[in-house]
Structure 1
């Protein structure tokens, strides 16, 4: 019998959720050692799986990083009924985004780590940009004026990314300690202007 490794799809363990094990291990190791010093081989060794299985599920290390650190958000639930709120769409959007970041410290830490890495890694920045643009378009697309739609959504995303970076990464005084309601009153009108304002 040949001892050569069989080619094709890596064998899955019969009782273990290998994908979740890989994601959990990747989060731990990216947090402990950073992105550059963490290898797919090391993740596979700690997770007890063949590194080929990681490539099968996630592709490259960049893909694995995004999958491991990107927050798990049910956008339809978080932003349901946004137009029926007592405040403007912009104010309600800001309030819900901040509430989302505040509600789950573990997921917030993962998202902040991903933002930090995206600043210096172009491919990861591309993936993250696609995610945030997709969320903004999905939530606000029905409210945006048709003229300059793509630019309007991009400006909303840039405003919210700036707010998140100032609050959770740079810890800017006046923003870091503000409540969701306070931030929505200050930033919401700017979002409304991006969505509906005359250009």
Structure 2
């Protein structure tokens, strides 16, 4: 009598290191062809030639898989290193680098735009993408930001990046989508500098007026 297949972790072959990348490649193709909602784990497994259980082993669920498959393959330390050399105003250089991450690699941009579209309506994916953008802000500008309300400042910078990318590449607002990279960097850079070091405004008068 043949022993039945045991439950739990799927049995992996000698080519285990490659299977993860094969799954990601299959997921990218299907998400691009069918969209997020119509792509199933079973279909990804079929395209990749693996048991769907192996996909769950590596990635957990479809939300986690789409984040891993579509997020920009960017090393923030490599791309954004050395911005402290541009103090006291590193914002323009930072935005220039952010924009070039999106502009210089078409396939990477297309994957990231697809992920942004999904994130708008899927909170778990949106949270993972938020962590990614926050990671960029922390890595790039962690040495440049003031200590007071440090996390809030970096979160505002991450929000500025997300808003700019959404308007340029997803919503395609004509003025921003049609603007040159240098022009955008010069205009948005000072906003980043403000978030990095500006003193908190005195809002006591506004609070009193609101009572």
TM-score range, shorter chain: over 0.9
Q: Which has the larger radius of gyration?
A: 2
Q: After the TM superposition, list the runs of 4 or more consecutive aligned residues in structure 1 that deviate by more than 6 angstroms.
A: none
In structure 2, the partner of 1:106 is: 107
In structure 1, the partner of 2:206 is: none
Contact 1:12 1:18 in 2 (8 A): no
In structure 1, the partner of 2:165 is: 164
Give the alignment of 1:108-123 within 5 angstroms: 108-123=109-124
In structure 1, the partner of 2:38 is: 37
Matched positions, count = 199
In structure 1, the partner of 2:138 is: 137
In structure 2, the partner of 1:10 is: 10
Tell me the alpha carbon deviations over residues 135-180 of structure 1, each in whole angstroms, 9 at most, x when there is no partner: 2112111111111111111111111111101111111122112222
In structure 2, the partner of 1:175 is: 176
Give the unaligned 5+ runs of structure 1.
none
Given the superposition, is the C-alpha separation of residues 174 and 108 from structure 1 closer, same or farther in structure 2, using an over 3 Å criterion? same
Q: Normalising by the residue count of structure 1, what TM-score does the alignment of the two structures yield?
A: 0.94
Given the superposition, is the C-alpha separation of residues 155 and 129 from structure 1 closer, same or farther in structure 2, using an over 3 Å criterion? same
Contact 2:84 2:141 in 1 (8 A): no
Contact 1:23 1:68 in 2 (8 A): yes
Contact 2:80 2:139 in 1 (8 A): no
Q: Following the alignment from structure 2 to structure 1, what is the Cα–Cα distance between the partners of residues 175 and 39?
A: 36
Give the alignment of 1:12-31 within 5 angstroms: 12-15=12-15, 17-31=18-32
